[in-house]
Amino acid sequence: MAKEEAVQSNPFPGLRPFDYEQHDLFFGREEQVGFLLQRLEENRFLTVLGQSGSGKSSLIRAGMLPQLHAGQLAGAGDVWEMAIFHPGRSAIDSMTEAFRKAGLAEAAGVQELKQSAGGLTEAARMAGIGTGRNLLIVVDQFEELFRLQEGDDAGQEGADLFVRQLLNAAEQRELPIYVALTMRAEFIGHCNAFSGLTEMINEADYLIPRMSREQLRAAIEKPVAAYRATIDAELTECLLAEIGDETGQLPVVQHALMRTWDYWQTHRREGESLEIGHYEAVGTIHGALSLHAEEVFGELPDDEARQIAEVAFKCLASDLEGLEGGRQPTTLGEIAAVAGVEREKAGNVIDHFRRPGCWFLTPPPDIELEGDTVVDIAHETLVRLWERAQTWIEEEEQSARLYLRLASTAALYQEGRAGLYQDPDLELALEWGRQHRPTVAWGQRYDPAFERAMTFLEHSRKDRDFQLAKKEERVRKQLRRTRFFALMGGGASLVFLLFLLFALNLYFAAEESKKEAIDQKERAETERQNAERQRQIAV
């Protein structure tokens, strides 16, 4: 590979699995691929089991498939048709679409896929399988069959038919049909729901072992060497120490190496290796993912797009129901409905998080998004290590729990077994409604009776307001009575005061008259005495 070409690409896939085209960069798993081929040859059926992040999809896509095309499956030749898909919401529909993409979907064959337990075998026959051509059915993330299928009878019947088709195709020997599944190990118990599936898995399972230190070293160093670059031994040893025994760390390591490579390409000096300084600059395996996610989030054009992103990750990552892995793959149409926006706007945000060099969400960017396209998180370590996503999930779970309490109380109220909401619960619920503005689509993800719950909340609010209005009216009446009596009391006091003033006036007038009479009497006496003296003098 020329140096100029190396600058344009990256030997590490990040969070997404290695795909077929990257098989020349897939190192450290050669021995494991050999075991897969052995199981497939012996049984025509293979289940690859492992914990999240152990490399199940990569092992099939970049490990086993190229070996099949190279003729490494004994007695099978090198001509292979492959239908590769995830079960999604409808496994049979997903398989039918995979047949179409592989050019195998004759009209009659597609109809067979939807009708009978032998439909897969018959569809393969009609597509010419058996005349020097092998067919491999790869069902990646088989656990979606338990997590995403519709819960009604039709959904269960469709899942049963799908499993019977896989088992029948693998058991028959008339046509060279092979079946390979990848599944997270913690879902193995769910297989008992399908007759014969557990028995088949027990005969042909492969539990991915922990990679040895040397295998991990090859997975780190050889892709760099394939791009005619070098990696400093100190960085390799640092990565090996940080991985430790945690095989599930592989996607995080791949992402950190992808970011380290990008940083090195931009900042390297002539002849410089990938060094620990480049690795630390992007945040190491502990911080690179959160820093990258925050960078991508910050590139969204406006508040509406950021709000849609928040809603999308809350839909995809909430673990309220205790689902293994804390992931809830959701259709684009449902995300748009929960966000209350047009599907195109939601799709633009999803595209932003699944673009090349990012790969935070699936499906891959080459798949056009439709309303029924299932969107998923590329790996749950994204939401575990991205601090903003953790905050979103905590908020979502608190919101959902409050809504579920509301919905439960509304159901009891309808049955006459509970009363209306009262404060403080009522005010908390009202504040939740004002802040989160829940949509019908959001509520129905947790409890289908969304409208009943919101009607109950509104009825509770109106009852509280009515009771408050009655109380306020009683207070107003009491105030009016108090004012009346106060006025009456004030009027009586005024009359009393007037009478008092009048009486005082009369009193003072009487006193004045009395004084005047006394004065007049005294003057009269004085005049009499004077007159008496004058008379005596005259005599």
For residue 518, what pLDDT is reported?
Answer: 65
Residue 38 lies in a domain: yes
Claim to verify: residue 146 and residue 248 sit in the same structural domain: no
Answer yes or no: are the C-beta atoms of 299 and 353 closer than 8 Å: no
For residue 169, what pLDDT is reported?
Answer: 96
Rounded distance between C-alpha atoms, residue 46 and residue 36, angstroms: 7
DSSP string, 83-133: EEE---S-HHHHHHHHHHHTT---HHHHHHHTT-TTHHHHHHHHTTTTSS-
Find the CATH number of the domain harbouring 40.
3.40.50.300
Claim to verify: residue 271 and residue 134 sit in the same structural domain: no
Range 250-261 average pLDDT: 95
For residue 56, what pLDDT is reported?
Answer: 95
Cα 248 to the center of its chain, rounded Å: 21
Claim to verify: residue 87 and residue 234 sit in the same structural domain: no
Q: Side chain identity at 68, as an amino acid letter?
A: L
For residue 507, what pLDDT is reported?
Answer: 64
Query: Which one of 247, 265, 293 terminates a domain?
Result: 293
User: Considering its fold, how many domains does the chain have in total?
Assistant: 2
Residue 270 lies in a domain: yes
Claim to verify: residue 220 and residue 198 sit in the same structural domain: no
Cα 230 to the center of its chain, rounded Å: 39
Residue 440 lies in a domain: no
Answer yes or no: are the C-beta atoms of 167 and 118 closer than 8 Å: no
Q: How confident is the model at residue 532 (pLDDT cuts 50, 70, 90)?
A: low
Claim to verify: residue 237 and residue 185 sit in the same structural domain: no
Claim to verify: residue 194 and residue 141 sit in the same structural domain: yes
Query: Which one of 207, 223, 253 terminates a domain?
Result: 207
The structure tokens listed for 450 are: 């969304």
Residue 187 lies in a domain: yes
For residue 75, what pLDDT is reported?
Answer: 87
Answer yes or no: are the C-beta atoms of 175 and 131 closer than 8 Å: no
Query: Which one of 275, 293, 311 terminates a domain?
Result: 293
Rounded distance between C-alpha atoms, residue 122 and residue 169, angstroms: 9
Rounded distance between C-alpha atoms, residue 449 and residue 42, angstroms: 51
Claim to verify: residue 153 and residue 125 sit in the same structural domain: yes
Range 41-56 average pLDDT: 94
Residue 272 lies in a domain: yes
Claim to verify: residue 134 and residue 242 sit in the same structural domain: no
Range 8-18 average pLDDT: 89
Residue 397 lies in a domain: no
pLDDT mean across residues, the chain: 88
- Determine the structural domain holding residue 230 and report its residue range: 3-11+212-293
The residue behind tokens 């289940």 is 47
Residue 399 lies in a domain: no
Rounded distance between C-alpha atoms, residue 282 and residue 268, angstroms: 14
Q: How confident is the model at residue 131 (pLDDT cuts 50, 70, 90)?
A: confident
Rounded distance between C-alpha atoms, residue 275 and residue 234, angstroms: 7
Range 483-503 average pLDDT: 69
Claim to verify: residue 63 and residue 182 sit in the same structural domain: yes
Rounded distance between C-alpha atoms, residue 346 and residue 370, angstroms: 11
pTM as predicted: 0.80
For 161-195, write each residue's pLDDT tens digit: 999 999 999 999 999 999 999 999 999 999 999 99
Claim to verify: residue 114 and residue 217 sit in the same structural domain: no
Q: How confident is the model at residue 151 (pLDDT cuts 50, 70, 90)?
A: low
Decide if pLDDT at 222 tops 80: yes
Claim to verify: residue 180 and residue 218 sit in the same structural domain: no
Residue 422 lies in a domain: no
Claim to verify: residue 202 and residue 242 sit in the same structural domain: no
